[in-house]
C-alpha cells in the first residue's frame, strides 16, 4: 500500500504544523490574546460565535503593525520578538515562536487589520489556506483587529473532533479570565454569541477580577500572598481561598509564571499541600498564584502552545510556592482576637508514663467565664470572626460519650471529642521546636520486626522519626531496635507505636520532609486522642473546649474531618417556628 516517499506540499506541511499550535478555538483565542498583550494593549475585546467555531475576533489598541510588515506577520517563523537563540533565555514576551498567525492562517480564513502608531493609515490583509493576499490600505484606529472564520474548514478530521459549543465557550471564558487576572491593568471584554460573558475594568485591582471568577464574597475573603516573606529569586504573589471555602477539584488553582498562564501538576500540588490538615479530605483550595522569576531560570519553549514550562530548579519553585501559601494561611489564622494556641503547655497534653491516653490532658484550672462576655460584647449579636475561628464556648455537657455540647454567642456547637482532641494534640506537637518532641524511654530496648516494604520505607525516615520522639535503629534485615517512643504513644506497645506511624509510608507521595512530619504527627495524635466512648467529666469537657478554642484551625481535625457542627441561633429559631 505504500505510495513512495514524497515531500509534503508547503500547504500540507503547514497544516500539520498548525495542528500543534491550533488545537481548538480556545487555542486561537489564546494566541491572539497573547499577541495583543505583547503589543502593549490597554483594552482588548474578544468576540466569538458558536464557541469560536464560526468566528473569532480579537481587537486591541496596542502598538499595531507597521504597514510594510503586515505581510510578514502571517509568514511562518516571522516574529518581532526574538532575534537570536540567546534571546530565548531572557524572553519577556508571551509569544516568540512566530508561528501562531501562520498556523491560524493555514487552517482558517483570516483577516488582519492593523495600524501602527507611526502609520498614517491602517492596512488590511486576508489569508486563506495559508496563502496571504495583497495588503491594502484601510481606515482603522490604532491597534490590531484579527478576524478568524470557519476554523478547520479545510481540515475535516479536526473539524469532526471539535467539542461542543458550550464546552468551547466555557474554555474561552476561562482563558479570558486568566489573562485578565495576569494583566489586571488591561481592560478585557468577551462577547460570546452576542452576549457579554466576561469583562474586567482594567483598574489594576486583582480582587476585582477574582470577584468575576469566584464571586464577590469569596474574592473579598481570599488571602493575599504578597506579604509572605520570600528569599531567593522566586517571588510568589496572588490570592488563595480561606480554609472554610473549597472546591471539589483542583481546577480552580490558577498558576502563572512571569505573566504566563501555565499548567503544572507539581505546583498545583504545592498549593494543595499548603492546606494540609486545614481542608476536609477530598476538598481543594482555589486561587490565583503568580510566580515571578528570572526568565533564564524557566524554559517556556517546551510546548508549542507554551502551556507548560520547565524550571531550572523545580524544587526551589515548589517550596517557594508552598511556603508562601502556608505562611499566608497561618498568618491569616493568627491575625484574630482569639489568642493563638500558645497558652497551652504541651506537658499538659503528654500522657504520663504508661497511664494511657486518658484524662491527663485535662487542665488544672477552671474555664474563665469572662471569656464569654468578651466574645459577646462586640455587637450584641454574633461577633464577626475571621475565617475558621470559633468564638469562646460554654460547655454544656456530653452526649453518647462521644460528643460535647457547647453554647456560643451565635448558637449551639456539637463537638466531636475525638476529632477535637486530635486537633489540640496536633497543634501542640507542631508548636514544639524540631527535636523537642517529648519522648519516653523504654525500660529495655525492644526489637520490632516489620514487613519488608514498611521496613525499607522506615529506613528512609529514621531521622524524621527521631525528630518526633522515636529512637529507632536498624537491627538487621527488617528488624529495628526501639529505645524510645513519643510520649503521646507511651501507652502503646512499642511495636504498635511504630506500626501506627509506618502504616502508610508506602503510599506516601509527599516530597517535603516538613509535610511528612506533619502526617506522622497527625497519625500519632490520632492514636493518642481521647476516643469516642470515653466519658468525660465537666472539667475535662471544659478543658478540651478551651484548648480547641485556642487552636489556629479549630474546625477540622488534622485529617481534615470536621471537629464540630454549628447550629446558629437563627436556624434554631426557624426550626422552632419562631421566625
Residue ranges that bind ligand ADP, judged by CB under 6 A: 31, 35-36, 39, 60, 62-65, 73, 78-81, 95-102, 144
332 binds Mg ion per the rule CB under 5 A: no
Q: State residue 11 phi and psi, 5-degree precision.
A: -65, -45
* Residues contacting residue 139 through CB under 8 Å, at least 6 positions apart: 121, 122
Residue nearest to ligand ADP (CB): 95
99 vs 549, beta carbon nearer ligand ADP: 99
CB 350 within 8 A of CB 438: yes
- Binding site partner of 290, from ligand ADP, Mg ion, none, Cβ cut-off 5-8 A by kind: none
* Shortest Å, Cβ 64 to ligand ADP: 6
Q: Which residues from 439-478 bind Mg ion, rule CB under 5 A?
A: none
100 binds Mg ion per the rule CB under 5 A: yes
* Residues contacting residue 512 through CB under 8 Å, at least 6 positions apart: 273, 318, 319, 322
60 vs 549, beta carbon nearer ligand ADP: 60
- Binding site partner of 97, from Mg ion, ligand ADP, none, Cβ cut-off 5-8 A by kind: ligand ADP
* Shortest Å, Cβ 103 to Mg ion: 10
35 binds Mg ion per the rule CB under 5 A: yes
22 vs 500, beta carbon nearer ligand ADP: 22
Classify residue 31 as exposed, middle or buried by CB count within 10 Å of its CB (0-12, 13-18, 19+): buried
* Shortest Å, Cβ 438 to Mg ion: 60
95 binds Mg ion per the rule CB under 5 A: yes
40 vs 474, beta carbon nearer Mg ion: 40
Reported residue count of the chain is 579
- Binding site partner of 486, from ligand ADP, Mg ion, none, Cβ cut-off 5-8 A by kind: none
C-alpha cell at 266: 507539581
* Shortest Å, Cβ 91 to Mg ion: 12
Q: Which residue has the cell 477552671?
A: 366
Give the strand pairing for 287-292 and 253-257: parallel
C-alpha cell at 133: 493576499
C-alpha cell at 494: 512499642
C-alpha cell at 173: 471564558
* Shortest Å, Cβ 38 to ligand ADP: 6
103 binds Mg ion per the rule CB under 5 A: no
80 vs 454, beta carbon nearer ligand ADP: 80
Q: State residue 401 phi and psi, 5-degree precision.
A: 50, 25
Kindly state the number of chain residues that form the binding site for Mg ion, as judged by CB under 5 A.
3
- Binding site partner of 73, from ligand ADP, Mg ion, none, Cβ cut-off 5-8 A by kind: ligand ADP
104 vs 522, beta carbon nearer Mg ion: 104
CB 187 within 8 A of CB 42: yes
63 vs 264, beta carbon nearer ligand ADP: 63
- Binding site partner of 47, from Mg ion, ligand ADP, none, Cβ cut-off 5-8 A by kind: none
Cross-strand pairs, 196: 191
**Dihedral sign, CA of 270, 274, 276, 280?**
negative
Q: Which residue has the cell 483570516?
A: 110
65 vs 219, beta carbon nearer ligand ADP: 65
100 vs 482, beta carbon nearer Mg ion: 100
Instruction: Annotate 327-356 with DSSP letters as a single string.
Output: HHHHHHHHSSSSPPSTTS-GGGTSPPTTT-
- The Cα–Cα gap between 220 and 208 comes to 9
CB 505 within 8 A of CB 497: no
114 binds Mg ion per the rule CB under 5 A: no
Which of 94-102, 152-160, 263-271, 328-336 is the region at the interface with Mg ion (rule: CB under 5 A)? 94-102
C-alpha cell at 112: 488582519
> Which residues of the chain form contacts with Mg ion (CB under 5 A)?
35, 95, 100
Amino acid at each position: 500500500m505504500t505510495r513512495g516517499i514524497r515531500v509534503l506540499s508547503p500547504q500540507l506541511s503547514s497544516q500539520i504544523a498548525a495542528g500543534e499550535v491550533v488545537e481548538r478555538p480556545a487555542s486561537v483565542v489564546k494566541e491572539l490574546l497573547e499577541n495583543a498583550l505583547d503589543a502593549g494593549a490597554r483594552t482588548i475585546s474578544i468576540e466569538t460565535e458558536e464557541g469560536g467555531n464560526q468566528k473569532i475576533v480579537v481587537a486591541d489598541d496596542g502598538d499595531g503593525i507597521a504597514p510594510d510588515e503586515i505581510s510578514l506577520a502571517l509568514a511562518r517563523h516571522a516574529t518581532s520578538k526574538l532575534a537570536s537563540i540567546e534571546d530565548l533565555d531572557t524572553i519577556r514576551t508571551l509569544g516568540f515562536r512566530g508561528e501562531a498567525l501562520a498556523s491560524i492562517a493555514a487552517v482558517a480564513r483570516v483577516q488582519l487589520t492593523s495600524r501602527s502608531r507611526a502609520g498614517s493609515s491602517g492596512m488590511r490583509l486576508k489569508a486563506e489556506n495559508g496563502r496571504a493576499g495583497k495588503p491594502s490600505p484601510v481606515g482603522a484606529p490604532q491597534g490590531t483587529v484579527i478576524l478568524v472564520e470557519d476554523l478547520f474548514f479545510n481540515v475535516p478530521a479536526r473539524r469532526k473532533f471539535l467539542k461542543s459549543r458550550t464546552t468551547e465557550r466555557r474554555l474561552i471564558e476561562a482563558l479570558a479570565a486568566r489573562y485578565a487576572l495576569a494583566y489586571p491593568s488591561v481592560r478585557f471584554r468577551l462577547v460570546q454569541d452576542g452576549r457579554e460573558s466576561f469583562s474586567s475594568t482594567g483598574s489594576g485591582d486583582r480582587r476585582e477580577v477574582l470577584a468575576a471568577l469566584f464571586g464577590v464574597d469569596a474574592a473579598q475573603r481570599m488571602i493575599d500572598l504578597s506579604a509572605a516573606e520570600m528569599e531567593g529569586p522566586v517571588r510568589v504573589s496572588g490570592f488563595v481561598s480561606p480554609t472554610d471555602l473549597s472546591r471539589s477539584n483542583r481546577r480552580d488553582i490558577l498558576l502563572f509564571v512571569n505573566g504566563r498562564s501555565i499548567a503544572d501538576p507539581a505546583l498545583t500540588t504545592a498549593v494543595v499541600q499548603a492546606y494540609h490538615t486545614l481542608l476536609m479530605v477530598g476538598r481543594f483550595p482555589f486561587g490565583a498564584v503568580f510566580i515571578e522569576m528570572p526568565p533564564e531560570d524557566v524554559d517556556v519553549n517546551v510546548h508549542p502552545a507554551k502551556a507548560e514550562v520547565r524550571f531550572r530548579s523545580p524544587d526551589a519553585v515548589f517550596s517557594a510556592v508552598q511556603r508562601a501559601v502556608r505562611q499566608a494561611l497561618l498568618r491569616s489564622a493568627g491575625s484574630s482576637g482569639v489568642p493563638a494556641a500558645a497558652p497551652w503547655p504541651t506537658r499538659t497534653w503528654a500522657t504520663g508514663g504508661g497511664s494511657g491516653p486518658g484524662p491527663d490532658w485535662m487542665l488544672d484550672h477552671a474555664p474563665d467565664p469572662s471569656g464569654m462576655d468578651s466574645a459577646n460584647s462586640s455587637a450584641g449579636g454574633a461577633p464577626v470572626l475571621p475565617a475558621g475561628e470559633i468564638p469562646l464556648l460554654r460547655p454544656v455537657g456530653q452526649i453518647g460519650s462521644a460528643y460535647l455540647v457547647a453554647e456560643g454567642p451565635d448558637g449551639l456547637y456539637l463537638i466531636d471529642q475525638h476529632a477535637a482532641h486530635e486537633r489540640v494534640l496536633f497543634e501542640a506537637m507542631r508548636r514544639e521546636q524540631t527535636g523537642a518532641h517529648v519522648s519516653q524511654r523504654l525500660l529495655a530496648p525492644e526489637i520490632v520486626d516489620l514487613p519488608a516494604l514498611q521496613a525499607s520505607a522506615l529506613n528512609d525516615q529514621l531521622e524524621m522519626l527521631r525528630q518526633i520522639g522515636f529512637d529507632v535503629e536498624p537491627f538487621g534485615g527488617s528488624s529495628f531496635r526501639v529505645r524510645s517512643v513519643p510520649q503521646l504513644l507511651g501507652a502503646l506497645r512499642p511495636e504498635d507505636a511504630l506500626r501506627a506511624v509506618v502504616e502508610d509510608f508506602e503510599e506516601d507521595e509527599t516530597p517535603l520532609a516538613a509535610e511528612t512530619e506533619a502526617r506522622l504527627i497527625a497519625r500519632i495524635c490520632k492514636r493518642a486522642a481521647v476516643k469516642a466512648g470515653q466519658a468525660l467529666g465537666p472539667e475535662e469537657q471544659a478543658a478540651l473546649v478551651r484548648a480547641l478554642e485556642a487552636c489556629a484551625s479549630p474546625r477540622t481535625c488534622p485529617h481534615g474531618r470536621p471537629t464540630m457542627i454549628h447550629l446558629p441561633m437563627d436556624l434554631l429559631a426557624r426550626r422552632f417556628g419562631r421566625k
